[in-house]
Chain A
Amino acid sequence: MPFTENIGAATLDGLAYVGGLARLGASAARAVVMDVFEPRRLAYDRAVHQAMAVGIGSLPILSLITFFIGTILALQSAYELRKFGALQFVADAVAISVSRELGPLITAILVIGRSGSSFAAEIGTMKVNEEIDALETMALDPVRFLVAPKLLSMLLMMPCLTIWADFMGMIGGAVFGMAAADFTFKTYVIATLDALVLRDILTGLIKSLMFGLVITTVGCQEGLRTGLGAEEVGRSTTSAVVKSIFLVIMVDLVFTAMFYLGIG
């Protein structure tokens, strides 16, 4: 009985947590829309600052990681494909795997490590230092002031980063293709373009938007829930990373299943 009670309590906690994320996401989205109709002078600056931190700051490490992932994927595919004399399909395997799955997922995991954790740490530190209270007493809504610019920048930058990750992954695959599979750069590019259809790219981009939403809301919610003391900031940051990774994988599963059942 206690076991089932524990499962029930944990399920309710999980649902309440996701409900909290949905509320925070909705409030932040509303604030983003309000900023469009009632522009404030600082909102634009904060969104640009966040976009630079989330997007431009991630580019070097994202490029490197997705390049290597592309090469590794080509190597792993080639291991099986060469048994069937189908080494020319390496480009197809890399292109589809990267654009539909690994590009958005690796981008999301990297952004969780860089930005999701920093959102939680930044807001958590502000909470500990009474800065969130100060915002409220200055009649500034913390969600509109802190979360909305982060959400806007994340929704803009995640698809851009994902496209870049797809590109670098395919370049990584091309290096293997040219070195070990009798491709020239041109023939590899042609094979990749032949293998890809628009929906492969689009499904990846839709997933990247959802990942951006999850990373922002989890990071900010964990930051806003930080208790008192420096130790709590560390706890929030760790919790933001773990929960974001779990929820990103869950969202990935749900959307991949939907695309499989819906549009193939």
Chain B
Amino acid sequence: MAEELYAADTLGSAQAPVVSIRNLHVSYGEREILHGISFDVLAGETVVILGGSGSGKSTLLRTLVGLEKPTSGEVILHGKNLCCITGAEWRELRQHIGISFQSGALFGSMTVGENVALPLLEHTQLDPATIEIMVRLKLNEVGLNGYEDYMPAQLSGGMKKRAAVARAMAMDPEILFFDEPSAGLDPIIAAGIDQLLLKLKEAFGITIIVVTHELASAFLIADRMVLLDKGHIVAVGSTAELQASTHPRVRQFLDRVAEPEISQEIDYLQMLTGEVPRPRQ
């Protein structure tokens, strides 16, 4: 199932991918988290990486932005293979990508305006007046006009995420990464963040990669979806293709069916002894 959708949906495209992942393996020490992930992201599309807790989706995102090193395989970002680029090339590449972290990761000792201005101050030669205007523009784009002098601690959860998006947008990136943009937000605020992502895509044509487990949000914003399960890709395809999928794990995830309880004695013994349980189909 995964391979069929993968072949039909990405490799057959004439457009060159901006992100290309090939047979990616990532481990923490002895424990392998991602077991041979492969998919492409085309320019201007929004790809949502779905998966339950512990599926490896956050590790995948961290690997794509260079915070984790692959054990093997390739990640080609903007034409650069991350395994082989120099520190200077990484610094240059990172100026073309923006990341909005799950917690927002705003610098608590700086105002919202200073947070957004930071990449501009460090990476450009713009004069302070221009930077001030750009900060206002970016905050306006995310609906935070007038919040330049607020400290992050004074903002609500949704506002923090918006401010983080404004900071991620500061350098006009070509690829934006979002880690759980709606996590911990009430449905109305979460819907506002979804609308913001759609607006950014429509207005700027940015390539957006989102990691989430919020199904409603994912189906609203995604052009394509990647479903991860225990470090493997279960399915890749458009929202309609995933909706129509009959793969048991896809159906279980989309229909929100709980994991079956251990019923057989041998499985129970394996659980107690810490051995890997037999795979279920």
Contacts and interface: CB of A to CB of B under 8 A. Distances in A.
Contacts of B145: none
B67 A131 contact: no
B91 interface: yes
Given A136-B67, A137-B67, A138-B94, A130 B121 contact: no
B183 to A, nearest CB: 13
Interface stretch (B3-11, B23-31, B75-83, B98-106): B98-106
Given A40-B122, A42-B122, A133-B67, A139 B105 contact: no
B122 A129 contact: no
Interface string A136-147: 111110000000
A134 interface: yes
Q: Is the interface of A mostly helix, strand, loop or mixed?
A: helix
B101 A139 contact: no
A16 B123 CA distance: 35
Interface string B83-99: 00000001110110101
Interface residues of A, number: 16
A131 B108 contact: yes
A126 B62 CA distance: 17
Given A41-B121, A42-B121, A42-B122, A136 B66 contact: yes
Given A42-B121, A137-B66, A138-B118, A129 B103 contact: yes
Nearest to B62: A133
Contacts of A133: 62, 67, 101, 105
A139 B90 contact: yes
Contacts of B143: none
Interface string A99-137: 000000000000000000000001001100111011011
Interface residues of B, number: 24
Contacts of A139: 90-92, 94-95, 119, 122-123
Contacts of B2: none
A139 B118 CA distance: 11
B58 to A, nearest CB: 11
A137 B122 contact: no
Contacts of A136: 66-67, 94
Among A40, A41, A42, A134, residue most surrounded by chain B Cβ atoms (within 10 Å):
A134
Given A137-B65, A139-B123, A140-B122, A129 B108 contact: yes
Given A40-B122, A41-B121, A42-B121, A137 B94 contact: yes
Interface in B95-139: 95, 97, 99, 101-103, 105-109, 118-119, 121-123
B122 A130 contact: no
A41 B122 CA distance: 7
Contacts of A122: 109
Interface string B200-223: 000000000000000000000000
Contacts of B103: 129-130
Contact of B105 (A40, A41, A131, A140): A131
A18 B135 CA distance: 42
Nearest to A40: B122
Contact of A129 (B90, B92, B105): B105
A35 to B, nearest CB: 12
A18 to B, nearest CB: 24
Given A40-B122, A131-B107, A139-B123, 19 more contacts: A41-B121, A41-B122, A126-B108, A129-B105, A130-B105, A131-B106, A131-B108, A133-B67, A134-B101, A137-B67, A137-B99, A138-B94, A138-B118, A138-B119, A139-B91, A139-B92, A139-B95, A139-B122, A140-B118
A-B pairs, top 7 by smallest CB distance, nearest first, are A139-B94, A134-B105, A130-B105, A139-B91, A130-B101, A137-B99, A138-B119
17 contacts: A42-B118, A126-B108, A130-B101, A131-B105, A131-B108, A133-B67, A133-B101, A134-B99, A134-B105, A136-B94, A137-B99, A138-B94, A138-B119, A139-B92, A139-B119, A139-B123, A140-B118
Interface of A: 40-42, 122, 125-126, 129-131, 133-134, 136-140
